[in-house]
Amino acid sequence: MLKHGNLSGEKEKAIDVFFYGKSVGKFRADIVLDNKIMIKLKAVKKIIPEHKAQLLNYLRATQIEVGLILNFVDEPTYSRKVNNNDRKHKTNQ
């Protein structure tokens, strides 16, 4: 468990993935903070559109709305994605 201030986090957290209200499997998020923010860790030359699409798909399949890609290379970079839960099926968990 990660802790800093008022935030708690879990490493390699297993998350249920839903499609039209049915559980279709699980994936492991690198880090999840307070069950509200998903963090994907990368060590690549640059963040590419496929990385952003993957994170957005994970957000769509969960109740988590905010995701960050943190890229640790010579010049660290990040990307932030948001997917509003109002557009998700209410049976997702």
Q: Is the pLDDT of residue 35 over 70?
A: yes
When pLDDT is cut at 50, 70 and 90, the band that residue 89 belongs to is low
Cα-based distances in Å from 11 to 25, 31, 86: 19, 5, 27
Q: Which of 34, 24, 28 lies closest to 66, judged by CA?
A: 34
Mean pLDDT computed over every residue of the chain: 83
Q: How far apart are CA 52 and CA 7, in angstroms?
A: 24
53-65: average pLDDT: 86
Residue 90 has a pLDDT of 52
Q: Which residue did the predictor score with more confidence, 86 or 35?
A: 35
34-45: average pLDDT: 92
Ordered domains of the chain (ranges, CATH)? 2-84 (3.90.320.10)
42: number of Cβ within 10 Å: 18
Q: How far apart are CA 52 and CA 68, in angstroms?
A: 9
